[in-house]
Amino acid sequence: MSSKVSRRSLLKKGAAAAMGGGAAALIAGDTLAAQQGGAPAILTNAQGGRKAKAVLKYRNELPTVEEITLRAIGGRDVVIRVEACQACYSQVTQALVTGNQTGLGLGRETPLTRATILGHGLVGVVEAIGPQVQKVQVGDRVITCQHAQCGVCYACLRMRGDRCMNNSVPSFASFDGKEVTGALGGGGFTEVTVVPEEYAVPVFTDIPPAQLSNISCVGSCGFGAATTMAPVEMATDVVVLGAGIVGMHAIQGARIRGASQIIAVEPIRYRRELALKLGATAVVDPNVEGDNLVKKLQEMCTSRVAKTDRRFAGGGYVGPDYVIEAVGGDRMKPKTEVGPDPTGVLPLQQGWDLCSAIGTYVTTSIGQPWDANVKFPAANWSDGAKHHIPGSQGGFGSRKEIPRLVRLIETGQFNMKALAPKTFPLSQTKQAFQEAADRTVMVTAVTPNS
């Protein structure tokens, strides 16, 4: 596309193609870049009528692999050929259970009223873009997170990209007369997906896509817990409750931030062993400690082991400086060691109890029963100095944080190779979820175009 073509003309053609559809309709995909003298304009098309295989969940049926038909894309849409998508534990009941989708420790789950592509957040290569897209180009490798980051809404302007208000994935395809949409962050169990550009973060790296797929949800959650809203200070004591894939990212985040002691609490033996390789300085089995767990962890972070209790010599407070909770409720019964409380409520309570009175408690997990409660002493909660930072992916603004984590992986400071998912083709998505539910492997991913 020549840069001599007027901007008005380009926009007009682009809008017409995007609105009208037709795979043959060529439009200028990067008009603003061309006008600004930046990257060359890209020819692309509206993709309407394109077919792709996708794992669809509709109402309470088990998901099946179906052929979807793309609609013509809108002006800010990005078409992505999916390379990998992690099979998140949060979706195992959607993938493996019919009926009302209740599971162990599971609370309310929103019924899926539209046909939804499972998998949330993905890694892929941009194949086409709408005429107004500025943030990515055709050929870019991108990661999409559960949370978009538009950069201009109320939340984004206040450094809370994780609470971006332009955070919705409209339907972009059809199947058997039904509208098809992607799960939040972009449905990843499909050969091709479409997201608004605020979701797509370009990454310039050769890290294998399956490894990168961890970042979309679980990685951003765990790494963010240790590095964003409550960044771990160097030479501090950190307890990480749960050494699943979220906890493993928190452990490495704490190590990179320079924590002096990182204690991982995890019932599954192979996970404790891996935690020690990734930065935990000690591991504790909650099933062994039982009711003594809180006391044991506090002792490991105080006088006799790590600090002094002499108040005129820098000592005094009991417990870790940071507790990062990454346990959650069991949605299905695992085939590995089971923790002390399948609802995940007990570790939530223990995390609060064991944290130092001037420490920081970060909670990330999901899946507890909706009617369950944890208790805080009223006076301590209202007038104490213990910080609580709730919410998975708190503070993880994808556009800033993803490139940062990618650089840490590339330079060997963050070991993502040790967390590489076991991969499955699209046809074996159910097995990918089954093994995630069983917890027999750390993490699984689907590679739809393999």
For residue 107, the minimal CB distance to Zn ion (Å) is 16
For residue 372, the minimal CB distance to Zn ion (Å) is 21
CB–CB of 193/53 below 8 Å? Answer: no
For residue 199, the minimal CB distance to Zn ion (Å) is 11
Tokens of 332: 């299905």
Query: Which residue, 164 or 323, is less far from Zn ion as judged by CB?
Result: 164
**Burial call 235-268: b when 16+ CB within 10 Å, e when fewer:** ebbbbbbbbbbbbbbbbbbbbbbebebbbbbbbb
The number of angstroms, rounded, from the C-alpha of 76 to the middle of its chain's C-alpha atoms is 23
Tokens of 324: 């990062």
Cα(241)–Cα(301) distance, rounded to whole angstroms? 15
Question: How many CB atoms are located within 10 Å of the residue 20 CB?
Answer: 12
Query: Which residue, 48 or 421, is less far from Zn ion as judged by CB?
Result: 421
Residue type, 403: P
For residue 150, the minimal CB distance to Zn ion (Å) is 3
CB–CB of 130/13 below 8 Å? Answer: no
Cα(86)–Cα(215) distance, rounded to whole angstroms? 9
The number of angstroms, rounded, from the C-alpha of 327 to the middle of its chain's C-alpha atoms is 15
For residue 64, the minimal CB distance to Zn ion (Å) is 21
Query: Which residue, 33 or 88, is less far from Zn ion as judged by CB?
Result: 88
Query: Which residue, 166 or 415, is less far from Zn ion as judged by CB?
Result: 166
For residue 70, the minimal CB distance to Zn ion (Å) is 24
Owner of token pair 């870049």: 33
CB–CB of 187/129 below 8 Å? Answer: no
For residue 135, the minimal CB distance to Zn ion (Å) is 13
Query: Which residue, 148 or 301, is less far from Zn ion as judged by CB?
Result: 148
Helix segments in 69-203, DSSP class H: 92-96, 154-157
CB–CB of 49/85 below 8 Å? Answer: no
Query: Which residue, 13 or 57, is less far from Zn ion as judged by CB?
Result: 57
DSSP character for 161? G
Owner of token pair 């949605």: 331
Q: What angle do CA 311, 313, 318 make, to 5 degrees?
A: 45
Query: Which residue, 133 or 164, is less far from Zn ion as judged by CB?
Result: 164
Extended strands (E) in 77-183: 77-86, 115-117, 122-129, 141-144, 173-175, 178-182
Cα(119)–Cα(409) distance, rounded to whole angstroms? 23
Query: Which residue, 44 or 149, is less far from Zn ion as judged by CB?
Result: 149
For residue 223, the minimal CB distance to Zn ion (Å) is 14
For residue 395, the minimal CB distance to Zn ion (Å) is 14
Query: Which residue, 164 or 332, is less far from Zn ion as judged by CB?
Result: 164
The site for Zn ion (CB under 5 A) is made up of 88, 90, 150, 153, 156, 164, 166, 217
Query: Which residue, 46 or 327, is less far from Zn ion as judged by CB?
Result: 327
For residue 284, the minimal CB distance to Zn ion (Å) is 26
